[in-house]
Amino acid sequence: MQFETRAFDGDGVRLTADAIGDRSAPPVLFFHGGGQSRRSWRGAARRVAEAGYYGLSFDLRGHGESGWAPDGDYILDAFGRDVEQVIAAFDRPVALVGASRGGQAALIGGSRHPGRVSLIMLADIAPRMRNTGIDKFRDFFAQSQIGFASAEEAADALALHLGQPRPADASSLMRALRQEQSGRLFWHWDPKTVDPKFLNPPSETQSFEAAAARVKCPVVLVRAELSDLVTQAGVDCFRALTPHLVVLEAKGVGHMFTGDRNDAFAATLLDYLAQHAPIAA
């Protein structure tokens, strides 16, 4: 079973996805976190395809091989509108899976189309988040703006940000980097996506809370045990807005756990897909 690259229309941008499985099977759409790419969810997409679903892992606008917003619009609602356009491309209900920024976008876009979404599963995201945790992302993005002299330098910065050991072979990061004429390496995202004005402004909280109050389909939140973003207060707020919310905990992992350790997440996802988006016999 092999991946194929597909293109979809977003809201004024072209979105790139890796797709795997039978196109006639129930679609499961994956959306990564800010600063990541569609590769973050490839393992989970393969797992659901092997179980009989059609898995698609998307690059968000301004990330990876998806288009950069010509008007520089990277406010959260723009990502949500992209998800709406992707939902409309399918003639049957879809399941939405998202981590961090991708989870926010999935909830906002999916909540606007009751009946078109069978399940929304989120990784470590809530309406209200710890600002000190967001500061770590702001710092990482700011430091990344000047680029890197080598893949090894980029690997050191990423390992520090994630709190994980540096990979033995930094060359594997080259697929996530782009090289400018100066020779310096930059992460494969539009620099405008990490403008401070797009990183948790008040409008972002308002949009997420409105979506949480509006959503009708089943919603599952997998909270990272060691998250520096999602607090118990944030989960309680989410529950108050979405009474049917199911909350699970991923043990021993931090906020960005879906980037390279999503096998356990995929197994849990399959359990909920079997309940809410069963494959016809």
DSSP SS3 for 147? coil
Domains of the chain, by residue range, sit at 4-131+203-276, 133-193
Q: What are phi and psi of 230, to 5 degrees?
A: -95, 115
pLDDT in tens, 209-241: 999 999 999 999 999 877 878 999 999 999 999
DSSP code of residue 169: -
How many residues are given for the chain? 281
Please check whether residue 242 is in contact with residue 214, taking contact to mean a CB–CB distance below 8 angstroms: no
- pLDDT tens profile 151-160: 888 888 887 7
Structure tokens at 96: 């939405």
Residue 192: which of 8, 57, 67, 15 has the closest Cα?
Answer: 67
Q: Tokens for 71?
A: 């008007």
- CATH 3.90.79.10 for domain 4-131+203-276: no
Strands 117-123, 94-99: pairing is parallel
CA distance 268 to 48: 11
Cα torsion angle, 71, 77, 79, 84, sign: negative
Backbone angles phi, psi at 93, to 5 degrees: -60, 145
Q: CB atoms < 10 A from the CB of 7, how many?
A: 12
The C-alpha angle with vertex 85 and arms to 88 and 6, in degrees rounded to 5, equals 90
State pLDDT tens for residues 99-122: 989 999 999 999 999 999 999 999
Confidence of residue 186 (pLDDT cuts 50, 70, 90): confident
Q: CB count, 10 Å around CB of 136?
A: 16
- Per-residue pLDDT tens digits for 74-103: 999 999 999 999 999 999 999 999 998 999
